[in-house]
Amino acid sequence: RGGSELVQALPPAVFVRHGAHNAETRLESLPVGRLVTPNDHFYVRNHGPTPRLSPTDWRLEIRGDAALRPVSLTYEQLVALPTVTITRYLECAGNGRAYFSELLGVAVEGDPWRDGAYGVAAWTGVPLATLLELAGLRGSAAWVMPVGLDAETYARPMPLAKAMTADTILAHRMNGEVLPMDHGFPARVVVPGWIGAASVKWVGALEVSAREPAVEANTEEYVMLGADYRSPPPVLTTAVVKSAVCLPWPAVLPAGRRTIHGLAWSPFGKIAKVDISLDGGRTFTRTARLIGDNLPVAGTWWQLELDAPPGDVTITPRAVDEHGPTQPSLSQQRPNDKGYLFAAPVPHPIRFV
Ligand code: MTE
Ligand code: MO
């Protein structure tokens, strides 16, 4: 344990910092058309400093009242197990939080992320199902909680069925590299399609239990609080369909024929299309062209050709998932106290000069 800050250098051309431990990607710094986010561009969301864990001391404990025989694995044993590689996105539940105040005029708690707490990686690791089978499950097993080795423990449970999904893995590599420290070295869970908070980093244990453990991350954080929600507050699981323009905020561009680029992603499947509004989201009169890879539970790049006279415009993308889900209108967007799951289309301000 130890370490006071982040390990990775976070250049301001690539990241916007939110406090000491958090940084969102400037989407305009990404290589256009390449869906996978380079590791050194991937957003970082930490509840505290990055723990520097030694792979020789580290152990993965699989234990709990619903585990038949507790197991302890070394790093070498973990990486020797058969792996899968899945390309999936992670997004913080607070991504887009700035827009609750900027577009809806409601004050919410937390860092004002725009759209950059989103990233795609090819994750290599061992399915949680494989690991849980090593310990064996009692008939009572119903919850699995990955526990992080942060200085202040971070843990968040998921139902057994979600843990047993082929897609839910304990990753030890990211885009072909050993998992970077800020992203959870030696191993992190990846729970595709769920809010990033489910994808626990620096995992030291998988706890299998009959009952749902109550921890901060499912009672106080990552729950829906506010006038629209009753107690007990709904625990956040699945993320929402989103899209973004990959330009600085606000953007200044030369007038004339321009190609605008953006990203769109969905926790359900591929992106079917991206509609574009040039009037602030009232009417969607254009359709963007999807470019490069379009992968389920990862996303796609899109582009729009535009003849832009000098002046101010907003470009508002709206993504549609292949199974139908889309982004709600701003008037349908309900607020919540902690500013989670902002889903409405965002009018991106651009000045053509
Ligand atoms: N895991 C641990 N152990 N500690 C944390 O603070 N933050 C969570 C999740 N896993 C966190 C964690 C949150 S809120 C998010 S959005 C993702 O990690 C961010 O993953 P990243 O930093 O690799 O982008
Ligand atoms: Mo998050």
Give CA separation, 353 vs 252, 260, 309, in Å. Answer: 7, 15, 8
Q: Is the dihedral of CA 183, 184, 186, 188 positive or negative?
A: negative
pLDDT at 5: 85
Residue nearest to atom 17 of ligand 1 (CA): 196
**Mean pLDDT across 41-66:** 97
pLDDT at 23: 97
Domain 15-219 has CATH 3.90.950.10: no
pLDDT at residue 52 above 70? yes
Kindly state the DSSP code that residue 171 receives in the 8-state scheme: E
1 pLDDT band (50/70/90 cuts)? very low
Q: For residue 209, count other CB atoms closer than 10 A to its CB.
A: 20
Centre of ligand 2 to C-alpha 45, Å, is 6
pLDDT at residue 234 above 80? yes
| Residue appearing with tokens 């993965």 | 60
pLDDT at residue 2 above 60? no
Rounded to two decimals, the pTM is 0.97
**Mean pLDDT across 92-107:** 97
The answer to whether residues 156 and 200 touch, using CB atoms and an 8 Å cutoff, is yes
Looking at all shown ligands, the one closest to residue 198's CA atom is 1
pLDDT at residue 300 above 90? yes
| Residue appearing with tokens 């009753």 | 230
239 pLDDT band (50/70/90 cuts)? very high
Provide residues with CB under 6 Å of ligand 1.
42-47, 90, 92, 148, 150, 154, 183, 196-197, 199-202
Q: Annotate 248-301 with three-state secondary structure.
A: CCCEEECCEEEEEEEEEECCCCCEEEEEEECCCCCCCCEECEEEEEEECCCEEE
Cα 291 vs. chain centroid, distance in angstroms?
21
Query: Each residue of 174-230: pLDDT tens digit?
Result: 999 999 999 999 999 999 999 999 999 999 999 999 999 999 999 999 999 999 999
pLDDT at 81: 98
Cα 249 to Cα 116: distance, rounded to the nearest angstrom: 11
The residue ranges of every structural domain in the chain are 15-219, 242-352
Among residues 208, 173, 193, the alpha carbon closest in space to that of 70 is found at 208
pLDDT at residue 4 above 80? no
Atom of ligand 1 nearest to the CA of 93: 16
Q: Which two tokens stand for residue 322?
A: 């292949």
**Mean pLDDT across 155-172:** 98
According to CATH, what is the number of the domain 242-352? 2.60.40.650
User: What percent of the chain is predicted at pLDDT more than 70?
Assistant: 99
Centre of ligand 1 to C-alpha 212, Å, is 20
Looking at all shown ligands, the one closest to residue 184's CA atom is 1
**Mean pLDDT across 245-274:** 98
Q: Is 280 exposed, middle or buried (0-12, 13-18, 19+ CB in 10 A)?
A: middle
Residue nearest to atom 10 of ligand 1 (CA): 200
Ligand 1 site-directed mutation target among 14, 40, 46, most atoms within 8 Å of CB: 46
pLDDT at 82: 98
Q: Which two tokens stand for residue 266?
A: 């969905």
Mean pLDDT over each residue of the chain, to the nearest integer: 97
| Residue 184, phi-psi category: left (phi > 0), alpha (psi -120 to 50), beta (remainder) | left
Centre of ligand 2 to C-alpha 122, Å, is 19
Query: Each residue of 132-150: pLDDT tens digit?
Result: 999 999 999 999 999 999 9
The answer to whether residues 53 and 155 touch, using CB atoms and an 8 Å cutoff, is no
Q: Cis before residue 349, ω within 30 degrees of 0? A: no
Residues 6+ apart with CB under 8 A from 220: none
Centre of ligand 2 to C-alpha 351, Å, is 32
Centre of ligand 1 to C-alpha 284, Å, is 35
Phi first, then psi, for residue 308 (nearest 5°) are: -115, 110
Q: Which two tokens stand for residue 186?
A: 């030696």
